[in-house]
């Protein structure tokens, strides 16, 4: 991937960080991004040869345009966009009152509208390189599970957006998604009950590592004849629940 430029949103932690590191290890020029953790991002870029860090909140349209402009200014091209940044609120699905419209808006602003507006902002650059997008969704977007109903619905929207966008922007640009199950990141650090459930019910008997998801993101970004697909990366959990 030595000539390739890869932008990974939300890459100062968890799945995004593992993905950015993996692309960098394969020789790509990587752009790290986050909304708040600027010092971590800058340290990652210093420690990863040839990489960059750009702060941007993907929920803000101006930030998305500026992020793409920064990538092109610093790196000259964009080959892969990994839409990984996401947010949630943990709300029992039966607690309807807590899933207020403000919560729905907050989650959709990042997970759906953010992914959409950054993809649109990056499209001209991706067309120029015949590049690709990989969205990070969730098995919560495929099954009636997940940290809250608004979160699960946002990931279902992203799964469908993946197929629709793939149809709209081919043949120049491919668009795929990974749908992780439970992955060990700061986001899920205190999800002990879920981790126990996965280790007893999933055929592969463990929760995922960020690198397990990164492997599939890199595969989808580097293959050439797959588009519009959502690849489940859950150790087989959805086979048994």
The contact set with ligand NAP (CB under 6 A) reads 9-16, 33-37, 57-59, 84-87, 110, 114, 136, 138, 180, 182-183, 185-188
Question: Contact 194/184 with Cβ under 8 angstroms?
Answer: no
- DSSP classification of residue 203: T
Minimal distance, residue 189 CB to ligand NAP, in Å:
9
Nearer to ligand NAP, 136 or 202 (CB): 136
Minimal distance, residue 144 CB to ligand NAP, in Å:
15
- DSSP classification of residue 208: B
Cα separation, 213 vs 86, in Å, equals: 15
Q: Point out the catalytic residue in the list 32, 53, 108, 151.
A: 151
Minimal distance, residue 85 CB to ligand NAP, in Å:
4
Cα separation, 179 vs 135, in Å, equals: 9
Nearer to ligand NAP, 40 or 128 (CB): 40
Nearer to ligand NAP, 110 or 121 (CB): 110
Question: Contact 82/7 with Cβ under 8 angstroms?
Answer: yes
Could you confirm whether 53 is annotated as catalytic?
no
Query: Which residues in 93-123 are b (16+ Cβ under 10 Å) and which e?
Result: eeeeeebeeebbebbbbbbbbbbbbbbebbb
List residues with catalytic annotation: 151
């Amino acid at each position: 991937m030595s000539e390739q430029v890869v932008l990974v949103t939300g890459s100062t932690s968890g799945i995004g960080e593992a993905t950015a590191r993996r692309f960098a290890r394969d020789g790509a020029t990587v752009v790290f991004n986050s909304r708040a953790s600027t010092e971590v991002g800058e340290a990652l870029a210093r420690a990863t040869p040839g990489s960059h860090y750009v702060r941007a909140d993907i929920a803000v349209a101006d930030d998305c345009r500026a992020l793409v402009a920064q990538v092109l200014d610093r790196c000259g091209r964009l080959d892969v966009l990994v839409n990984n940044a996401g947010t949630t609120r943990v709300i029992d699905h039966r607690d309807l009152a807590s899933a207020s419209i403000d919560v729905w808006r907050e989650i959709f602003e990042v997970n759906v509208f953010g992914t959409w507006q950054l993809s649109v902002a990056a499209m001209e650059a991706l067309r120029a390189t015949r590049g690709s997008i990989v969205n990070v969704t969730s098995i919560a977007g495929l099954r009636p599970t997940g940290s809250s109903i608004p979160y699960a619905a946002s990931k279902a929207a992203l799964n469908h957006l993946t197929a629709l966008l793939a149809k709209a922007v081919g043949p120049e640009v491919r668009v795929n998604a990974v749908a992780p199950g439970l992955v060990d990141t700061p986001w899920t650090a205190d999800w002990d009950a879920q981790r126990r459930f996965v280790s007893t019910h999933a055929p592969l008997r463990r929760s995922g590592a960020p690198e397990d998801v990164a492997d599939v993101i890199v595969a989808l970004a580097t293959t050439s004849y797959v588009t519009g697909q959502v690849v489940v990366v859950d150790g087989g959990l959805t086979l048994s629940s």
